[in-house]
Structure formats: C-alpha cells, structure tokens
Amino acid sequence: MSWKLKQIFLPNPNLADEYPNYENQLQPRMRFADPELRLLFEQHEAAIMGIVVREITAYLADESVCNDEEDMFPRRSEMTGEWYVGEIELFKKEERIWGSVFTRFLGYYPEPCARLPVDDYLGLEVWITYDPEQQAFLFDGGLDSSSI
C-alpha cells in the first residue's frame, strides 16, 4: 500500500441520528439496542477500534480486493487514505451480542463531477461479537464492502 491510512473525526454532533457523510460532516450514528450495550461499547471502545483498524488495513492491503487495475473497485489511486466511522451498532440476537462498525473512506472525484472533489468513496463494515468468557469483543470474520 503506497499511502497510509488516517482516521479523521467529523465535527458536527449527530443529535437527530441522521445518516452521516463527508458532506454533512455528522458524527457517527450510535445504535444500541439498550443502555447496557452502550455501556459495554464504552468499556471496550479502544479494543473494538483496534479490531476495526486491523481488519480494514488488512482488507485494503490485499491485492486481490484493492489495487489500481482499470476495472477494480476500490482502486487505491482513487482513495485519499482518510477514513471515518459512520455508524456503530450493537444488538442482541440468539443470546449473543453482535455488532458492526461501518467505516467510510474518502476518494478523489475529478472535475467535472457533481460530487465534492474529495467525498465518500468506499464503505467497509466490520462485524464483531462479544465473548462473555473472555469478556472481550472479537472479529467475527465478516467484512462487507460497498460503494458509497
């Protein structure tokens, strides 16, 4: 990878729980099924974000899914290397705690284009699960990509 990933933090509070994007500069949507899950996230935020950084870095370093070939998406040459968190969600399903962190990566959009010169380009959603025996969040093996 010829560029370095850099997390940025959008400045505008997201009080109405709206869809955040680079243009509106809203902070992440925080979706927790109950207050206990919010507290659990707050207690493990550093470890969760460590998982996210590790997995998005590995994904973007994989030549088979990200390179500069003409028909490839995503293309490294179109990305700035900057990313931010768009949404965090934790929920309970089948007696387990699951969640995801949806990251968004910025890309260059040359003129003429209706988009900003730098705008949202790629979404990577990293899936996690909570292991009560280890009292830790783990990567569940799921990472979804999308064009945004």
83 in Cβ contact with 67 (< 8 Å) = no
**How are the residues of the chain apportioned to helix, strand and coil, as percentages rounded to the nearest 5?**
20, 45, 35
User: Over its length of 148 residues, how does the chain's per-residue pLDDT go in tens digits?
Assistant: 456 899 999 999 999 999 999 999 999 999 999 999 999 999 999 999 999 999 999 999 999 999 889 888 999 989 999 999 999 999 999 999 999 999 999 999 888 888 888 999 999 999 999 999 999 999 999 999 999 8
pTM of the model: 0.93
Domain residue ranges in the chain: 28-147
CA pair distance 82, 92, nearest whole angstrom: 31
CA atoms within 13 A on the CB side of 87: 17
